[in-house]
Amino acid sequence: MAQFKLSRRALLKTAALGGSGLVLSGCDAFDGLSSDSSLRDFLAGANNLTYRMQRLLAGRSALAEEFTEADIRQPQRPNGVTAPDDETYKSLLSSGFSDWRLEVGGLVERPLSLSLAQLQAMPSRTQITRHDCVEGWSCIAKWTGVPLSLILDETRAKPQARYVVFHCMDTIDRDISGDVKYYGSIDLIDARHPQTILAYGVNGKPLPVENGAPLRVRVERQLGYKMPKYIGRIELVDSFAAIGQGRGGYWEDNGYDWYGGI
Ligand SMILES: Nc1nc2c(c(=O)[nH]1)N[C@H]1C(S)=C(S)[C@@H](COP(=O)(O)O)O[C@H]1N2
Ligand SMILES: [Mo]
């Protein structure tokens, strides 16, 4: 409560400064203030404060931090399955994924079957973001792909759809019931987030096998295990109770948190 009062006063003071003739026009006026100016510090503080308040208010639609090329220090560190040993995958890979299709189905009005070339012809987004793995390492890379929201617009989700499930082509485990393929899910809010993309490129090159060729999802405000690689099929569902062990993902079935936010 005390903190809220402070924020409100700081904001009101900033507004008062604007009214008394100091009009800030974007960064120019801001940068014109000398760097040791206490006014500048005060304004920077207020700016930070409003930004943090905005983020709080914006909640799940807030953007993940984006970086610059200079922040990319190494190739994207591969983790989990890095070379699927599955026959179907290996044969698709051997023909450069020309026979691969992204199937989109489930609770949709219009199921889709898209080639890699069709996905690459759609509007794309490129973002330099930090990947955080639950195991405790991070890596900054530049990802390029199709916003998932565009695919959802094309396929037209039915009103009862709540989750997007990514079915992968790699076998992550073998149990008594046979091969277990990697899978994962996010809800439609995160699926429509502006930084949620189906990536086919990393650091200016086609996505290599180790990072999920031909297609992997990026959900930038969540942990690495929430970003399935080697995607073959996307299914819209109202519940994931009947998929895998019913917890919404391979790692979730093994005890990890479903949301995995960072
Ligand atoms: N299909 C599939 N997707 C996956 C995994 C996997 O083993 N198989 N591992 C997950 C984990 S734990 C992480 S940290 C990231 C690793 O992505 P990277 O290899 O591009 O770094 O992929 C995630 N997506
Ligand atoms: Mo991970």
Instruction: Give the ligand at the shortest distance from the Cα of 134.
Output: 2
Burial 134-144 (b: 16+ CB within 10 A, else e): eeeeebbbbbb
Averaged pLDDT for residues 74-87: 98
Average pLDDT of the residues of the chain: 87
Task: Output the CA 45–ligand 2 centroid distance in Å.
Answer: 35
0.95 exceeded by pTM: no
> Hey, which of 167, 169, 227 would you mutate to test ligand 1's pocket, going by the most ligand atoms within 8 Å of its Cβ?
227
Q: Which atom of ligand 1 is nearest to the CA of 139?
A: 21
Whose CA is closest to atom 24 on ligand 1? 228
Residue 259: strand, helix, or coil: coil
Helix (H) or strand (E) holding 150: helix 148-155
Whose CA is closest to atom 21 on ligand 1? 78
Residues lining ligand 1, Cβ inside 6 A = 76-81, 131, 133, 168, 170, 172, 182, 210-212, 224-225, 227-230
Task: Output the CA 252–ligand 2 centroid distance in Å.
Answer: 12
- Return the pLDDT at 60: 82
pLDDT band (50, 70, 90) for residue 202: very high
Domains and CATH numbers, the chain: 65-253 (3.90.420.10)
What's the pLDDT tens digit per position in 46-55?
A: 766 766 666 6
What's the pLDDT tens digit per position in 137-186?
A: 999 999 999 999 999 999 999 999 999 999 999 999 998 889 999 999 99
Q: Say if residue 36's pLDDT is above 50.
A: yes
Sign of the four-CA dihedral 101, 118, 80, 255? negative
What single DSSP character describes residue 16?
Answer: H
Pairing of strands 163-175, 205-206: unpaired
Specify the residue for token string 């809800």.
187
Cβ–Cβ contacts within 10 Å for residue 180, how many?
16
- Return the pLDDT at 12: 40
Sheet strands (E) in the chain:
102-106, 112-114, 125-132, 138-147, 163-175, 178-187, 197-202, 205-206, 216-218, 231-237
Sign of the four-CA dihedral 84, 233, 66, 251? negative
- Return the pLDDT at 63: 94
Q: Which atom of ligand 1 is nearest to the CA of 251?
A: 12
To 10 degrees, the CA torsion angle through 218, 222, 226, 229?
20
Q: Say if residue 187's pLDDT is above 50.
A: yes
The answer to whether 140 and 130 are in contact (CB under 8 A) is yes
Burial of residue 125 (number of CB atoms within 10 Å: 0-12, 13-18, 19+): middle
Burial of residue 211 (number of CB atoms within 10 Å: 0-12, 13-18, 19+): buried
Distant-in-sequence, close-in-space partners of 259: CB < 8 Å, separation ≥ 6? 222
Strand order in the sheet with 231-237: 112-114, 102-106, 231-237, 163-175, 178-187
Sign of the four-CA dihedral 56, 137, 130, 149? negative
Q: Apex CA 107: angle with CA 63 and CA 173, to 5°?
A: 75
pLDDT band (50, 70, 90) for residue 31: very low
Averaged pLDDT for residues 110-118: 98
Pairing of strands 102-106, 231-237: parallel
Whose CA is closest to atom 14 on ligand 1? 224
Share of the chain above pLDDT 90, in %: 75
Q: Which atom of ligand 1 is nearest to the CA of 182?
A: 1
- Return the pLDDT at 69: 98
- Return the pLDDT at 25: 40
